[in-house]
Homo-oligomer: A and B are copies of this chain.
Amino acid sequence: MSDATTPRTDGHAARRRGTRAQVIEAAVRLVAERGFSATSVDDIALAAGVAKGSVYYNFTSKSEILEAALAEGSERLQTTINEARGDLRGREALSAVVGALLSSMQANPDFAKLMAAEVFRVEREWQETIGALRAVTIATFADVVGEISPGEDASLVGAATFGAVLVAGLEWLLFQPDRSVEDVRASVLRLTAGL
């Protein structure tokens, strides 16, 4: 973000952070529904309830909005997962991380849909950001799987575990929303009980 050329009050800064967050939230929602190319900056401004000029005050392009959305979402997800894992190891860590990922998906289903739609697209401008999200998430599960079954080559098992949480979570949020997060966590842990 470029420096403002005029002095700004705290009120300005707060509004600017607010606008930025509103734009990101609207972009995630629209792109999750329609896809990136079908979403225009006009659509995003309208959905965010801000002027198009405010969007361009915060971002240089539509790609930069998505890049920021994925970067911030990834960072938040990573923090949530790390905090949930804490000092836990093995099976307890798996249970905590699965629960944290599902709760994050419930708190922001649009980001979850976006993640599923983009996580294996390798030709996007934000490829590095989504690649980091994919790598970190899979690596966390691979690490925990390695704690449960030491010595195992866990990278593909880690990917499979991430996929199990992602797809069970979306199935839940979109088609069985009356189930509790505990139900879904139990289903994933049921699948992985033999690790």
- Interfacial residues, chain A to chain B (CB-CB below 8 A): 32-38, 113, 116-123, 138, 149, 152, 155-157, 159-168, 170-172, 174, 176, 179, 183-184, 187-188, 190-195
- State in angstroms the CA–CA spacing of A192 and B163 once bound together: 13
Q: How far is the CA of A88 from the CA of B85 in the complex (A)?
A: 39
For A120, the chain B residues whose CB sits under 8 A away are 113, 116-117, 170, 174
Secondary structure class of chain A's binding surface, majority of residues: helix
Chain B nearest CB from A131 CB (Å) reads: 9
What would be 15 A-B contacts, judged by CB atoms less than 8 Å apart?
Answer: A32-B121, A34-B123, A37-B37, A116-B117, A120-B174, A156-B168, A156-B172, A160-B187, A161-B191, A163-B167, A164-B164, A164-B191, A166-B167, A167-B167, A194-B195
Copies in the complex: 2
Beta-carbon contact of B187 and A191 below 8 Å: no
Q: Smallest CB–CB gap between A153 and chain B, Å?
A: 8
Residues from chain B with a CB closer than 8 A to the CB of A32 are: 121
Determine how close the nearest CB of chain B comes to the CB of A127; give it in whole angstroms: 11
> Which residue in chain B gives the minimum CB-CB distance to A170?
B120
User: A167 and B162 in contact (CB under 8 A), knowing A113-B120, A116-B116?
Assistant: yes
7 tightest A-B contacts by CB? A194-B194, A163-B167, A37-B37, A193-B194, A156-B187, A37-B38, A159-B171
Q: Is B33 within 8 A of A121, CB to CB?
A: yes
Whether B170 contacts A156 by the Cβ 8 Å rule is no
B156-A160 in contact (CB<8A): no
* CB <8 Å contact, B174 and A168: no
**What residue of chain B has the Cβ atom nearest to residue A120's Cβ?**
B170
**CB-CB under 8 A for A191 and B190, given A120-B113, A163-B165:** no
Question: Is B187 in contact with A157, judged by CB distance below 8 angstroms?
Answer: yes
A191 to B170, CA, bound (A): 20
Determine the distance from Cα of A171 to Cα of B171 in the docked complex, in whole angstroms: 21
